[in-house]
């Protein structure tokens, strides 16, 4: 496997910041976008359950509706691809069965052989109340968010994570209101505008010695 040099990774991660102003004239090309899309699809999740959906808005008409349900932030409109990461609100037997089916087909193993794994997942879920399941699923969505931003950075694509969105209003606009999924967090993807002064602000982090402890 080809790997990159540690210095190149660090350069990308230091280059990344939460973009305030996107260049509305620039679009992520389709080859680069496909890799970012697959970075989300390939994101790790607990048991591999993928309790998420990724809604990608590129329609100018829909994008134009987003700032007013995002505390008037303009990133959802000006970016190239506005990603809304949605969580599966519950985790029921039929979903787990569809996942087990997916494993069986992908790996050409009989469903019966996966019974112990199925039982383990069911056991985990049945121990939790609905609110805990939703929180657990939501945490997985944040893994995908992390993978999305890191992947974009190494590809030289800018992002802005956006918790400041009105989830219920997003659900309405995106057609999720009566679905099993609900908007959790946004991530605007595209290219920084040359006028965005935040690009030049020094990155603020607590000292490594305060954040990382070695034992």
Contact 201, 89 (CB under 8 A): no
Q: Of 106 and 178, which CB lies nearer to its own copies in the complex structure?
A: 106
For its own copies, the binding residues in 170-189 under the rule CB under 8 A are 174-175
How many CB atoms within 10 Å of residue 24? 16
- Return the residues of window 56-95 that contact its own copies according to CB under 8 A: 56-59, 62
Helix 93-107 × helix 115-126 angle, to 10°: 150
Do 121 and 96 touch, CB atoms closer than 8 A? yes
Q: Is 111 in the site for its own copies (CB under 8 A)?
A: no
CA dihedral 148, 21, 6, 1 (to 10 degrees): 40
d(CA 74, CA 185): 15
Q: CB-wise, 72 or 107, nearer to its own copies?
A: 107
**Least distance to its own copies from the beta carbon of 111, Å?**
13
- Which positions from 13 through 42 interact with its own copies, judged by CB under 8 A? 13-16, 18, 31-32, 34-35, 37-42
- 101: Cβ–Cβ under 8 A, 6 or more apart, which residues? 111
If one asks whether residue 129 binds its own copies (CB under 8 A), the answer comes out as: no
Pick the stretch among 19-27, 72-80, 139-147, 189-197 that binds its own copies (CB under 8 A): 139-147
Query: Is position 215 an interface residue for its own copies (rule: CB under 8 A)?
Result: yes
Residue placing its CB nearer to its own copies in the complex, 42 or 115: 42
**Does 53 contact its own copies by CB under 8 A?**
yes
């Amino acid at each position: 496997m080809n790997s990159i040099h540690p210095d190149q990774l660090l350069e990308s991660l230091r280059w990344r910041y939460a973009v305030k102003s996107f260049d509305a004239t620039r679009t992520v090309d389709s080859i680069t976008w496909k890799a970012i899309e697959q970075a989300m699809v390939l994101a790790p999740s607990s048991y591999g359950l993928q309790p998420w959906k990724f809604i990608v808005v590129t329609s100018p008409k829909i994008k134009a509706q987003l700032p007013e349900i995002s505390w008037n932030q303009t990133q959802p409109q000006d970016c190239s691809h506005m990603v809304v990461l949605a969580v599966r609100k519950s985790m029921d037997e039929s979903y787990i069965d569809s996942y087990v089916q997916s494993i069986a087909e992908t790996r050409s193993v009989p469903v019966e052989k996966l019974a112990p794994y199925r039982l383990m997942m069911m056991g985990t879920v049945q121990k939790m109340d609905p609110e805990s399941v939703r929180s657990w699923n939501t945490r997985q969505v944040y893994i995908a968010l992390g993978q999305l931003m890191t992947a974009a950075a190494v590809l030289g694509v800018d992002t802005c994570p956006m918790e400041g969105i009105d989830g219920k209003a997003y659900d309405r606009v995106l057609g999720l209101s009566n679905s099993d999924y609900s908007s959790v967090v946004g991530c605007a993807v595209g290219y920084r505008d040359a006028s965005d002064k935040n690009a030049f602000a020094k990155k603020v982090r607590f000292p490594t010695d305060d954040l990382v402890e070695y034992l």
